[in-house]
Chain A
Amino acid sequence: MNAATGAVVPLLEISKLTTRIDGSAGTFTVLDHVSLYINPGETLAVVGESGSGKSIAALSIMRLLPEVAHIDHGDVALHAEDLLALPESGMRNVRGKKIGMIFQEPATSLNPVLTVGQQIMEVLERHTKFRGVDARDEAIRWLKKVEILDPERRIDEYPFQFSGGMKQRVMIAIALCAGPDLLIADEPTTALDVTIQAQILDLLKSLQKEISMSILLITHDLGVVAHMAHRVALMKDGKVLEVAETREFFTAPKHPYAQELFSSLPQRVGRAVSYRPPDPNEKPLLEVVGMKVHFPIRRGLLKRTVGYVKAVDGVTFEINKGETLALVGESGSGKTTVGKGILRLIPTRMGQIRYDGIDVLRLNGEDLRAMRRNMQIIFQDPFASLNPKMRVGTIIEEGMMALGVGANDAERQVRARRLLEQVGLVRESYDRFPHEFSGGQRQRVAIARALAVEPKLIICDEPTSALDVLVQAQILKLLLDLQKDLGLSYLFITHNIAVVEFLAHRVAVMYNGEIVEQGDAEELLLLPQHPYTQQLLAAVPTVEIGGEEFVNTTA
């Protein structure tokens, strides 16, 4: 296939693999003549946007496709043995023994009712000669290898006693304990925080060196690719567009799609905004002072409160008119809770939230309703944030109706159509249902819905983290344009440092419910003061494109 491979016999060779899915609307091809190979000890990264078929490729190799999908033709050879010709019983000896696999979501890949030890030993007893006490010793050895502290004790614990990163370590132990030649890692770090991601990737790298296995790494994160892969395969719409050495791929991408992908990385565009010192005469639009959101822990028959989970514990910041404040932090740091608390979607226990000098927490009834016109929210998941049973027009008009924007139905309808145009959708979208739109288009609808009531402040709760990089760039640009045109202020909640760098005036870093550092975006990203901020920024994988270095960069 590739002349450059020379004498090396590839470990896994896929040729002209074609997989189809039978849907109600007919059959469509999800893998179209995919040809790839992996050499022993090599990491091949398969990169692509969602829906490009990279996960289906992995499932096709393992022959674990969902019922509706089938391999139409093609070859998958491991050690020159045709995997597609094997009977199902023979395939069971391949899975786990010769090819290990880890998945994206560590929380659901482990069985919650078995101890982690049992789950590792299950694989050991199936595929190796270890039995009973030996298997247990081997399992402990593997837990040590994946750097779990105190493995003798932790082997008898259940998955819920492990954190997300720890669970992924256990998954890696399970996948590798039978000594496979190839590890398929399907987005192994996507569900993890950036600091944990760095640790897991380092672990995979050192294990690869130690036991000399090959890795088929499926990811959409170019930073991860640059960090891990020897070679890169770029996929789109079920086809492999380009296969290249990693350095070559980043320095001189051949395919126009790769070039497009790189140019849409937020860093490539550079900083879209620059810090401007607030006008001392102007009062801040939103002031949050000592905000505390505590969730009560209730126990017993009478549900008495026995304690509190301090999700947000004394947060203070302000947002000026026309300004973007990025609220950065890992999952569980309480940043989303801050956003919902400001909108009073969840009760705040203490503190003040002053919008234009008025304390939002003291408002009730009609006053609160009037206040809701000023602040709106855009959510992370465009698939969950639009009611699937309502037409786009009705979705946009709902807020207007509830808050009394527009005099009558006709006026609201005109306004809704104009908003659709403003966010870059066609007017005809008005009568369609959300499922007829792609993720990016849905996010546009969500933005139109928020804009419909003419808010001054929009809380953007990770609005682009569920989107592909090209779409992300478009949505970010739309948000910037809207800010320019309408003078909006944003509270931008995100974990993506690249996005922060792109559009934030100021940054606040949250950790464990508190803001540990805040300040002007340029300064803070360049010279972080707090150790946590430093750790956070250091963990972000970087990409070098044509000699320039870029931070994290999801595709």
Chain B
Amino acid sequence: MEFPFRPLFLWTDVLVFLLTAAVIVYFMRVRRDVNQRATWLRALRNPSGMASAVILGLFVLVGLLDSMHFRPLLPPQAAAAGAAKAPPAAKDAKDTKAAPAVVVSRYAPTALSVLDVLLRPFNLEGERTYSEPLATHAFVKENREENGRTIRDFPRLKVAAQHLKDPVSDWAWDVTWRSAAGLLLGVVMTLVATAGLVGLLVRHPAQKGLSYGAIFSRLWSNQLSMPWRAAVLALGGALLLAGLVIVLAPVYHVLGTDKVGKGLLYLSMKSVRTALVIGTLTTLFTLPFALLLGIAAGYFKGRIDDIIQYIYTTLHSIPSVLLIAASVLILSVQLESNPELFATAAERADLRLFFLCLILGVTSWTGLCRLLRGETLKLRELEYIQAAQAFGVAHFRIIWRHILPNVMHLILISVVMEFSGLVLAEAVLSYVGVGVDPSMISFGTMINAARMEMSREPVVWWSLTAAFCFMFVLVLAANLFADSVRDAFDPRTHIR
């Protein structure tokens, strides 16, 4: 039996989904625990916390869609040809080795994600090189034959703006009405979403007995228990942009194209996953070190504390960029020399991303470790720990039951605070050339590719702008969210 596709589980995909599952389990436990629930609600009660949570949620959605990978089934003739020699669809010569000729790989050697499929109508492929956002003509002059003469002039784009008969006169009107239609679509979607929210709120016991209209007016004047207006505004903003994209993108390059003619909208959307993976998986790798070593140092004191302190002081005194660069270079040599391990280019790039997270994690646990050691030193002197010791409770059990729950807020705060820093770190590392695989789409590689064009005249501004805007919104939302989480969880900001 043949499926139209074969799912492909990349390393980071698996971890991303495990992490998602862990987060879901965590929030299910939070729902049952009155205290934790109140604390989380406090984080969301802050309007900027609520708005940034919505925006972050959208980014996470994009990231999750982009983490569902599969290999599509090749068309029959291509598969037959593939059986004869090598899969013709393979662009990367190295990948062909990965599918030995004997075993007929009937699935394409390139990995697609669900996001790719969803974005397909908006991702116009086939331009030769740079083009401005919403352009009809290329950015670079080319020679072309017309009536026997060679003219040097801006050629029309190959796939974008094909529906315009006379691009010069029709373009302005076409873009205007499409934008208007897009905004209208956005407004309609926002209204539908708001109606859906009101519909949910009506059923909620807190709003018992209120009519739809009453809830809507309260939502709008921010009189509900949660700042739903901020959520609606944030979602509305995102939906307006989405409306524009839905209407404009099938016929234009909304954000322009890059050097090899790829749509920047597509590249930016794909970068989101890389950024999220780096931001979350890295912290996942730092946690075991920071938790185990930090708490052990603080709890056992003495020799153990000395040793752990020496380790992290030493590690901290090595410039982390140096450490990361060295590890990444060693790793990339290993990956290059063992191409037979990977069936697709995506798998190789993914493994490199995975190791990058690991390396970043190994080099960046010292801060949290120090924090946890300090807090544990304080906690272990508290009387409830001594009471447990007086009962002869085992050390591990004391750590697990008494110390860990009481440092959880620190861990949570530092995880959300570090997220944005790691997203930025990826951009810097990729820019320097020791970040993700060059074939992996990320903000860092986008910026790296765009930097040369900044000195060009006229300047190619859009590729940097696209990366910048996406990253800015992501990091800002993460920071604002982290801020309200910190406020909610930090006992010092509470009213006693």
Contacts and interface: CB of A to CB of B under 8 A. Distances in A.
Interface of A: 21-24, 68, 303, 340, 343, 345, 368-369, 372, 375-377, 379-381, 384-390, 395, 398-399, 402-403, 433, 446, 449-450, 453
Nearest to A389: B405
Nearest to B385: A387
The 6 closest A-B pairs by CB, nearest first: A385-B383, A399-B391, A389-B405, A379-B383, A369-B392, A402-B393
A68 B387 contact: no
Interface string B378-389: 000011101111
14 contacts: A303-B306, A340-B386, A345-B386, A377-B387, A381-B383, A384-B384, A388-B406, A390-B402, A395-B384, A399-B391, A402-B391, A403-B391, A433-B35, A453-B391
Contacts of B35: 433
Nearest to B35: A433
B384 A385 contact: yes
A51 to B, nearest CB: 12
Contact of B393 (A22, A24, A340, A398): A398
Given A23-B495, A24-B495, A389-B405, A343 B390 contact: yes
B386 A398 contact: no
A450 B391 CA distance: 9
B401 interface: yes
B394 interface: yes
A303 to B, nearest CB: 8
A379 B386 contact: yes
Interface centre among A368, A369, A376, A387 (most CB of B within 10 A): A387
Contacts of A388: 406
Interface in B369-424: 382-384, 386-394, 397, 401-402, 405-406
Nearest to A365: B392
B237 to A, nearest CB: 30
A428 to B, nearest CB: 15
Interface in B248-306: 306
Contacts of A385: 382-384, 387
Contacts of B386: 340, 345, 377, 379
Contacts of A446: 387
B401 to A, nearest CB: 7
Given A369-B392, A379-B386, 17 more contacts: A21-B495, A22-B495, A23-B495, A24-B42, A68-B495, A368-B392, A372-B392, A376-B390, A377-B390, A381-B383, A385-B383, A388-B406, A389-B405, A398-B388, A402-B388, A402-B397, A446-B387
B390 A345 contact: yes
A384 B402 CA distance: 12
B384 A387 contact: yes
Nearest to B494: A24
A372 B391 contact: yes
Nearest to A405: B391
Most chain B beta-carbon neighbours within 10 Å: one of A389, A395, A399, A449: A389
- Interface residue range, chain B: 20 to 34
Contacts of A384: 382-384
Contacts of B389: 345
Nearest to B406: A389
B375 to A, nearest CB: 14
A387 B391 contact: no
Interface string B485-496: 000000000010
A343 B388 CA distance: 12
Contacts of B402: 387, 390
Which of B306, B384, B386 has the most chain A CB within a 10 Å cutoff? B384
B359 to A, nearest CB: 32
A398 B384 CA distance: 11
Contacts of A402: 388, 391-394, 397
Nearest to B303: A303
A246 B384 CA distance: 41
A398 B495 contact: no
Contacts of B393: 398-399, 402
Nearest to B381: A384
A375 B392 CA distance: 11
Contact of A449 (B387, B397, B406, B495): B387
B406 A387 contact: yes
A369 B397 CA distance: 15
A188 B433 CA distance: 64
A398 B386 CA distance: 13
A379 B392 contact: no
Interface string B459-496: 00000000000000000000000000000000000010
A377 B387 CA distance: 7
Contacts of B406: 387-389
A350 B384 CA distance: 27
Contact of B387 (A368, A379, A433): A379
A23 B391 CA distance: 38
B390 A372 contact: yes
Interface string B110-154: 000000000000000000000000000000000000000000000
B206 to A, nearest CB: 16
Contact of A386 (B384, B394, B397, B405): B384
A316 B286 CA distance: 51
A398 B390 CA distance: 11
A113 B390 CA distance: 39
A529 to B, nearest CB: 35
A386 B382 CA distance: 9
From A21, A377, A381, A446, residue with most partner B Cβ within 10 Å = A377
A345 B387 CA distance: 9
Contacts of B397: 402
Contacts of B383: 379-381, 384-385
A25 to B, nearest CB: 9
Contacts of A375: 390
**B387, B405, B495 — which one has the most chain A CB atoms within 10 A of its CB?**
B387
Nearest to B394: A402
Contacts of B392: 368-369, 372, 402-403
